[in-house]
A = this chain, B = another copy of it.
Amino acid sequence: MELALLLPPGMTVTPTMKEQCPLRDTLDRIGDRWTVIVVVLLLPGPRRFTELMRAAEGISQRMLTHTLRGLERDGLLTRTVHACVPPKVEYELTDPGRALAGPLTELLHWSVRHQESVLAARKTFDADV
Contact = CB atoms under 8 A, between A and B. Distances in A.
A126 B119 CA distance: 42
Contacts of A34: 15
A96 interface: yes
Contact of A14 (B13, B43, B57): B57
A7 B43 CA distance: 12
Interface residues of A, number: 63
B99 A5 contact: no
A117 B75 contact: yes
Nearest to A108: B23
B121 A75 contact: yes
Nearest to A25: B111
